[in-house]
């Protein structure tokens, strides 16, 4: 009797629990809750582990930077309210007052010192990406809690831009926090508009509103990121209302998303996808004549590079592969952004002219190349390899397109196994790409990090150095545009396209402000009036 009664009450309790569970899951998303399907798989909770958007985009809810880059790529005050260049090598940052970390402690200059020290001297590779931004810093000090003074090695006119990449952490009581400790932590302490709630690696990141945020009460009470790497799955999740925002919608899916009642925003990315050549070696891997015999590296002849560039039908890539959500390119950033040249405009394909130029360079019958690239890394990458193969076939250049995963691609490219390949570059400003892709490689300064083809042009190197030493402003932009004009005449790369970032959002979101750096954050979304 007793036993059965207990059993009864136990099963009752179980039933009640089940009802509660079901009810809990049945609550529809309110206007205050935001669910985002993102392609960015947060790899770690350490804000200084990787400079990839994969990490920084999601962590920017929790952590903040001294300086913030707005959607025009202009610098805006973040945790620093103002900054001045006191002397050639000395910068002074004034910090925002009354900012509190999520654990209630006050934000001071000491936290900035701690952050920069952690990156410079504590973290070991592979978390070395951020050291690129602190390399120019000679010393950092905090004369008072509201001021940070930074001494640089030589003149650094773009130090604030470098600092716009660095998340400020709180100085804890127990020395430097390790990446492992941060990953295992149940709480993360930043100053950002949202507080950390839970993280399941590769699956979800859950955030709650930081009611004490210095910038006012954030719009959303709860934010849940769902990591969905398959673009088709993100589209489906948005189309079926499972999420409110989906980032990086494939261009071809835009119509479907619209038909399902979601809105779409897009912006040309501050980046370029291009073809790059092996130029340093006498022979280029994968390049032969039509019968398969090895030939001297044809890409060292600027006429060949020009002919190949003329024979690319960028309109097919932009209109068909990217469904219009791409801009044909002739330089690193889309025309109009700071530091771009108005003289450079993409041309339609001119096959006859290209064929004549190729004959002129000694290749009337063309040659054979293996065109390598990552597949599934950038919008339209794999398809572009094949579209280029179609185009070049028309001037007698037989292409074997080979797409592999991004890490395999990088391994082989780094090992010099490629003759011509598809690459990409993005950055805070256009000179980052000018320096990484085209400057003569130099291990000491880190120049030419993406110049895997060993392009070397000393006149250009000198011009670029001068332009980069110029203070931020119209003079600097003009100098950078002139440098671009000068170097592109030599056809060191074949610019292909600037793809567009395309985001979709459902009825709970009134507006989403796109950022050309491709960030996905709740701060960019405004809730719909309920």
Site track for another protein across 8-47, x = CB under 8 A:
----------x--xx-xxx--------------x-xx-x-
Which 161-180 residues touch another protein, going by CB under 8 A? 179-180
User: How many Cβ atoms are within 10 Å of 492's Cβ, its own excluded?
Assistant: 22
| Crossing angle between the packed helical segments 302-310 and 351-360, to the nearest 10 degrees | 160
Judged by CB under 8 A, how many residues of this single chain contact another protein? 92
Q: How far is the CB of 213 from another protein (least distance, A)?
A: 27
Among 239, 358, 463, 523, which residue sits at the site for another protein (rule: CB under 8 A)?
A: 239
Residue 207: beta bridge partners?
Answer: 196, 223
Would you list the DSSP string of 1-67?
-HHHHHHHHHHHHHHHHHHHHHHHHHPPPPTTEEEEEES-----S-TTS--SHHHHHHHTTT--BSE
- Does residue 526 interact with another protein by CB under 8 A? no
- Provide the minimum distance between the beta carbon of 76 and another protein in the complex, in angstroms, as a whole number: 22
Q: How far is the CB of 486 from another protein (least distance, A)?
A: 23
Interactions with another protein, residue window 416-445 (CB under 8 A): 424-427, 432, 436, 441, 443
Q: Which of 221, 335, 343, 386 binds another protein (CB under 8 A)?
A: 386
Interacting residues with another protein between 252 and 281 (CB under 8 A): 252-253, 255-256
Q: From the list 29, 31, 106, 132, which residue makes contact with another protein (rule: CB under 8 A)?
A: 132
Which residue is it, tokens 């000393």?
458
Of residues 49, 93, 274, 299, which one binds another protein by CB under 8 A?
49
Q: Which of residues 447-506 bind another protein (CB under 8 A)?
A: 449-450
Q: Please tell me the number of Cα atoms within 13 Å of 456 on its side-chain side.
A: 7
Please tell me whether residue 51 binds another protein under the rule CB under 8 A. Answer: yes
Which residues in the 300-359 window bind another protein by CB under 8 A?
A: 313, 315-316, 319-321
Tell me whether residue 24 or residue 474 sits nearer to another protein (CB atom): 24
Interface with another protein, residue 407, by CB under 8 A:
yes
Cβ 62 to another protein shortest distance, Å:
17
Considering only residues 58 to 117 of the shown chain, the ones binding another protein according to CB under 8 A are: none
Contact yes or no for 84/160 (Cβ under 8 A) = no
Give strand pairing partners of 194.
209
288-307: contacts with another protein (CB under 8 A): none
Instruction: Using the minimum distance from each CB to another protein, give the nearer residue, 101 or 199.
Output: 199
* Contact call for residue 232 and another protein (CB under 8 A): yes
CB of 453 to another protein, least distance (A): 14
Q: Which residue from 87, 240, 345, 347 is in contact with another protein, where contact means CB under 8 A?
A: 240
State yes or no: cis peptide before 126, omega within 30 of 0.
Answer: yes
Q: Is 409 helix (H, G, I), strand (E, B) or coil?
A: helix
CB 344 within 8 Å of CB 485: yes
Nearest to 232 by CA among 250, 244, 247: 250
- Region 363-382 residues binding another protein, contact defined as CB under 8 A: 375-376, 382
Distinct helix (H) and strand (E) counts, the chain: 16, 20
Alpha helical stretches, state H, 164-287: 179-184, 231-239, 254-259
Tell me the closest approach of the beta carbon of residue 457 to another protein, in angstroms.
20
Q: Tell me if 311 sits within 8 A of 395, measured CB to CB.
A: yes
- Residue choice 97, 121, 141, 405 for contact with another protein (CB under 8 A): 405
Q: What is the 8-class DSSP label of residue 296?
A: -
Alpha carbon distance 433, 338 (integer Å): 13
Q: Which two tokens stand for residue 133?
A: 């931004």
């Amino acid at each position: 009797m007793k036993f059965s009664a207990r059993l009864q009450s136990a099963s009752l309790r179980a039933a009640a629990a089940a009802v509660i569970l079901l009810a809990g899951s049945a609550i529809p998303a309110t206007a205050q809750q935001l669910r985002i399907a993102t392609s960015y798989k947060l790899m770690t909770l350490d804000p200084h582990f990787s400079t990839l958007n994969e990490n920084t985009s999601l962590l920017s809810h929790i952590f903040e930077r001294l300086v913030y880059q707005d959607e025009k790529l202009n610098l805006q005050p973040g945790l620093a309210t103002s900054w001045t260049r006191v002397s050639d090598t000395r910068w002074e940052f004034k910090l925002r007052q009354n900012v509190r970390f999520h654990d209630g402690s006050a934000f001071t200059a000491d936290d900035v010192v701690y952050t920069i020290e952690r990156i410079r001297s504590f973290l070991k590779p592979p978390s070395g990406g951020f050291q690129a931004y602190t390399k120019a810093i000679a010393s950092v000090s905090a004369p008072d809690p509201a001021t940070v003074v930074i001494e640089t090695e030589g003149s650094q006119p773009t130090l604030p831009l470098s600092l716009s990449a660095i998340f400020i952490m709180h100085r804890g009581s127990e020395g430097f926090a390790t990446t492992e400790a941060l990953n295992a932590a149940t709480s993360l302490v930043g100053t950002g508009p949202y507080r950390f709630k839970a993280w399941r690696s590769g699956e979800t990141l859950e955030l709650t509103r930081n009611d004490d945020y210095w910038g006012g009460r954030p719009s959303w009470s709860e934010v849940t990121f769902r990591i969905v790497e398959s673009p088709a799955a993100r589209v489906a999740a948005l189309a079926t209302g499972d999420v409110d925002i989906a980032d990086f919608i494939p261009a071809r899916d835009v119509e479907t998303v619209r038909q399902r009642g979601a809105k779409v925003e897009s912006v040309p990315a501050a980046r370029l996808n291009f073809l790059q050549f092996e130029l340093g070696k006498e022979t280029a891997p994968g390049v032969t004549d039509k019968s398969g015999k090895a030939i001297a590296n044809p890409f060292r002849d600027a006429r060949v590079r020009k002919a190949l560039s003329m024979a690319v039908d960028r309109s097919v890539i932009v209109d068909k592969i990217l469904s219009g959500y791409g801009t044909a390119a002739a330089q690193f950033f889309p025309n109009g952004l700071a530091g771009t040249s108005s003289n450079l405009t993409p041309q339609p394909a001119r096959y006859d002219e290209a064929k004549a130029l190729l004959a002129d360079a000694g290749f009337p019958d063309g040659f054979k190349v293996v065109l390598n690239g990552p597949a599934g890394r950038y919008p339209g990458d794999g398809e572009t390899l094949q579209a280029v193969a179609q185009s070049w076939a028309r001037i007698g250049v037989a292409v074997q397109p080979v797409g592999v995963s991004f890490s395999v691609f990088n391994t082989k490219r780094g090992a010099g196994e490629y003759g011509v390949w598809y690459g990409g570059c993005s950055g805070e400003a256009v000179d980052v790409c000018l320096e990484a892709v085209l400057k003569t490689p130099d291990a000491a300064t880190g120049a030419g990090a993406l110049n895997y083809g060993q392009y070397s042009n000393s006149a250009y190197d000198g011009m670029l150095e001068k332009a980069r030493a110029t203070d931020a402003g119209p003079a600097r932009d003009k100098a950078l545009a002139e440098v671009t004009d000068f170097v592109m005449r030599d056809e060191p790369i074949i610019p292909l396209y600037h793809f567009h970032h395309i985001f979709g959002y459902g009825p709970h979101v009134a507006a989403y402000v796109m950022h050309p750096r491709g960030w996905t954050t709740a701060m960019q979304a405004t809730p719909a009036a309920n």
